[in-house]
Amino acid sequence: MNLIASPFESIEHAVIWLLILFSVATWGLALLKGLQFVRLKAQDRKFHRQFWAASSLESAAEFANNQPGAAARVALAGYAAIQVGDNPANDLSQSINHQDRLERALRQQIVRERRSLETGLAILASIGSTSPFIGLFGTVWGIMSALKGISAAGSASLETVAGPIGAALVATGVGIAVAVPAVLVYNYFLRRLKLTAADLDDFAHDFYSLAQKHAFRVQLQAVPVKTGTTGAGHKVKEAS
């Protein structure tokens, strides 16, 4: 009969170890996302301070080139969309109206920044939603193992039943203990993501208004707009 009980017991233990792994992943992601948002907030605050202190939209391009951060990358995308060179290329990208190009470039860059900030949130959501059920699965399996052991012992006393059943319920408790922090961390960073995206939308609107005063064209001869990348590795293409 031990040969029958052994697989049940190993699966119950495997479920608990899996939940422990989920817990480690949750706190690891919480630390990484926390550092990501703190660093991004500091970078954007510094860029906004330098950008709005500039004397003109053209002179502010230098800060977008040299300063990291989501807001700087949005500005880079905007500059690339409305930058006018000495010898404009005759291609399809230049045939699009500069106003439409700017609006599209700002919108696409904000979407890229959101994708970068969303990295890892799906894992947290999955852990939070599945951990209780995984723990319940371990409990059911453990109770099945306990009942088989009780049947083999031929005794149904309280001492015989309470120990194995109580041990089986540990998996459910661990599942709930893993799920609650994962859900809280997910909701917290989802809120931070929405706030960051709203700030980027506000900055994009302000940049659009400034570009409108320049007829959606800027000449950046001294400070050419360089090609940038987002945190997810997406390129912001240069338009000259």
> Could you tell me the residue ranges of all domains in the chain?
2-236
Q: Which of 51-55, 56-60, 205-209, 234-238 has the lowest mean pLDDT?
A: 234-238
Q: What is the mean pLDDT of residues 129-144?
A: 88
Which single residue is written with the structure tokens 């709005």? 52
Q: What is the pLDDT of residue 26?
A: 95
- In the chain, the percentage of residues whose pLDDT exceeds 70 is 75
Which single residue is written with the structure tokens 């041990």? 167
**Contact predicate 93/80, CB 8 Å:** no
Beta pairing partners, 235? 229
- The answer, yes or no, to whether residue 73 has pLDDT greater than 70, is yes
- The answer, yes or no, to whether residue 129 has pLDDT greater than 50, is yes
Q: What is the mean pLDDT of residues 14-42?
A: 94
How many Å apart are CA 218 and CA 84, to the nearest integer? 6
pLDDT, averaged across the chain: 80
Which single residue is written with the structure tokens 């979407």? 111
Q: What is the pLDDT of residue 165?
A: 74
Q: How far is CA 58 from the centre of its chain?
A: 33
Q: Which of 37-46, 200-209, 224-233 has the lowest mean pLDDT?
A: 224-233
Q: What is the mean pLDDT of residues 64-93?
A: 74
pLDDT confidence bin for 238, thresholds 50/70/90: very low
- The answer, yes or no, to whether residue 101 has pLDDT greater than 70, is yes
Retrieve residue 155's tokens. 């005794």
Q: What is the pLDDT of residue 164?
A: 66
Residue closest to 139 by CA, chosen among 3, 15, 6, 5: 15
Q: What is the pLDDT of residue 92?
A: 53
Q: What is the dihedral of CA 88, 94, 95, 97, to 10 degrees?
A: -110
DSSP result, the chain: -HHHHHHHHHHHHHHHHHHHHHHHHHHHHHHHHHHHHHHHHHHHHHHHHHHHHSSSTTTTHHHHHH--SHHHHHHHHHHHHHB--SS---SHHHHS-HHHHHHHHHHHHHHHHHHHHHTTHHHHHHHHHHHHHHHHHHHHHHHHHHHHHHHHHT---HHHHHHHHHHHHHHHHHHHHHHHHHHHHHHHHHHHHHHHHHHHHHHHHHHHHHHHHTTT-B--SSSPPPPEE-TTS-EE----
pLDDT confidence bin for 67, thresholds 50/70/90: confident
Q: Which of 74-88, 132-146, 186-200 has the lowest mean pLDDT?
A: 74-88
Q: What is the mean pLDDT of residues 130-156?
A: 79
Q: Which residues of 78-115 are buried (b: 16+ CB within 10 A; e: fewer)?
A: bbbbbbbeeeeeeeeeeeeebbebbbebbeebbebbbe
pTM of the model: 0.77
Q: What is the pLDDT of residue 8?
A: 46
- The answer, yes or no, to whether residue 114 has pLDDT greater than 50, is yes
Q: What is the pLDDT of residue 182?
A: 95
For residue 85, give Cα distances in angstroms to 92, 98, 213, 238: 16, 13, 19, 11
Retrieve residue 222's tokens. 């001294």
